Amino acid sequence: MPQSNDSILQAINLSKSFGGLKAVHQASIDVKNHSITGLIGPNGAGKSTLFNLLSNFLTADEGQVLFEGNPVQNLPPHQIARLGFLRTFQVARVLSRLTVLENMLLGTQNQIGEHLFSVLLQPKKIRKQERESKEKAMNILESVGLAEKAYDYAGALSGGQRKLLEMARTLMTNPKLILLDEPAAGVNPTLINQICEHILSWNQQGISFLIIEHNMDVIMSLCSHVWVLAEGTNLADGTPEEIQNNEQVLSAYLGE
Ligand SMILES: Nc1ncnc2c1ncn2[C@@H]1O[C@H](COP(=O)(O)OP(=O)(O)O)[C@@H](O)[C@H]1O
Ligand SMILES: [Mg+2]
């Protein structure tokens, strides 16, 4: 299998069945380094399942996933995250009974404080690291406009703000690639615009994105390349303009 160095993520012939249903069938995808890449398709096309396979929240029946050229499908999701490969969920997974700041700090893994050995021998170092994590979290919250909500329960946030918090949390782990599952769904237009601006600015800082989204304005304004999934398998890929004018893609959506 030839591997191009300019891809941050390559998935080759991924399949996943649920009982008799082939939710994803020999689907392949390629995300170029530093790109914002789109993943679209009708409801039930298998997009979220593909995300779960890419990040190993679900084990693939077959196929291969390469992150920066290295196979990752045998690593648990938290180890994949430590490599700089993060994802969000279609329904944001934030903990309602924790504060916004506490939710951010959940993203700081692999701290020395996790190890009893360090707790006993290096308390100062741990306090310093905790202080730095908190400072980093507050800076990120500031940059996305959630700083004044830092001590509110995450459960008190709007649906859109919860999505924003989930995205902000991925930044705690020094991401190289972030998969976003419908970042604009159920979000008001003003916040959608803000989210798009954040994505562009994070991308300019070097982070690559793969984005599932039904809002075509979002896809058109952000993505340089778009992959289309239908009935669990590849239907087309190309520039947003090519995809918009692709007859097969149009008819796949008409069937919805
Ligand atoms: N955990 C699951 N168990 C059984 N069927 C599932 C499961 N997850 C998804 N599916 C089915 O797989 C298909 C693809 O779903 P999904 O990946 O959520 O599509 P999309 O995100 O493109 O709307 C659908 O028919 C869905 O009902
Ligand atoms: Mg989905």
Query: For 18-39, what is each residue's pLDDT tens digit?
Result: 999 999 999 999 999 999 999 9
Task: Give a yes or no: residue 39 inside a domain.
Answer: yes
Q: Which of 14, 17, 18 to mutate to test the pocket of ligand 1 (most atoms within 8 A of CB)?
A: 18
163 in any annotated domain: no
User: Do residue 136 and residue 231 come from a single domain?
Assistant: no
- In this structure, the residue with its CA closest to atom 26 of ligand 1 is 44
Residue 177: is its pLDDT beyond 80?
Answer: yes
Question: Do 135 and 227 lie in a common domain?
Answer: no
* 198 in the same domain as 85: yes
101 and 192 in a common domain: no
Banded pLDDT at 10 (limits 50, 70, 90)? very high
Residues 212 and 195 reside in one and the same domain: yes
Residues 6+ apart with CB under 8 A from 3: 10, 66, 69
Mean pLDDT value of segment 156-168:
95
* pLDDT reported for residue 185: 93
Residue 168 lies in a domain: no
pLDDT for 3 beyond 60:
no
Ligand closest to Cα of 181 equals 2
Radius of gyration of the chain (CA): 19
Q: What is the pLDDT averaged over residues 87-105?
A: 91
Long-range contacts of 21-26, Cβ-Cβ distance < 8 Å, separation of 24 or more: 22/232, 23/49, 23/232, 24/49, 24/50, 24/53, 24/60, 24/232, 24/233, 25/231, 25/232, 25/233, 26/62, 26/63, 26/233
What atom of ligand 1 comes closest to residue 52's alpha carbon? 17
Q: Which ligand is nearest to the CA of 229?
A: 1
- Do 19 and 122 lie in a common domain? no
Q: Indicate the number of domains in the chain.
A: 2
pLDDT at 167: 96
- How remote is the C-alpha of 76 from its chain's centroid? 16
- The preferred substitution site among 49, 52, 91, 210 for testing ligand 1, maximizing ligand atoms within 8 Å of CB, is 49
- pLDDT tens-digit readout, 45-85: 999 999 999 999 999 999 999 999 999 989 999 899 999 99
Distance 218 CA to ligand 2 centre (A): 16
- Whether residue 26 lies inside any domain: the answer is yes
Nearest CA to ligand 1 atom 10: 23
> Percentage of the chain with pLDDT > 90?
81
Shared-domain flag, residues 89 and 182:
yes
In terms of Cα–Cα distance, which of 246, 243, 180 is closest to 207? 180
The reply to whether 222 falls in a domain is: yes
Position 2 scores a pLDDT of 46
Report the chain's terminal Cα–Cα distance, integer Å.
Answer: 35
For residue 1, pLDDT beyond 50: no
**In what order do the strands lie in the sheet containing 7-18?**
21-32, 7-18, 62-67, 70-71
Within a domain: residue 36?
A: yes
Percentage of the chain lying above the pLDDT 70 cut? 92
For residue 189, what are the domain limits?
7-94+174-254
CATH number of the domain at 232, please. Answer: 3.40.50.300
Domain co-membership, 58 together with 117: no
Q: What is the pLDDT of residue 117?
A: 65
Same domain, 86 and 181: yes
Query: Of 156, 186, 201, at which residue does a domain stop?
Result: 156
What are the tens digits of pLDDT across the range 181-223? 999 999 999 999 999 999 999 999 999 999 999 999 999 999 9
- Domain annotation covers residue 1: no
191 & 207 share domain: yes
| 236 CB within 6 A, ligand 1 | no
Q: In the predicted model, is pLDDT for residue 255 greater than 70?
A: no
Ligand 1 within 6 A of 18 CB? yes
Shared domain for 135 and 17, answered yes or no, is no
The answer to whether residue 169 is domain-embedded is no
Same domain as 87, residue 13: yes
Report the sign of the C-alpha dihedral through residues 253, 91, 86, 17, in that order: negative
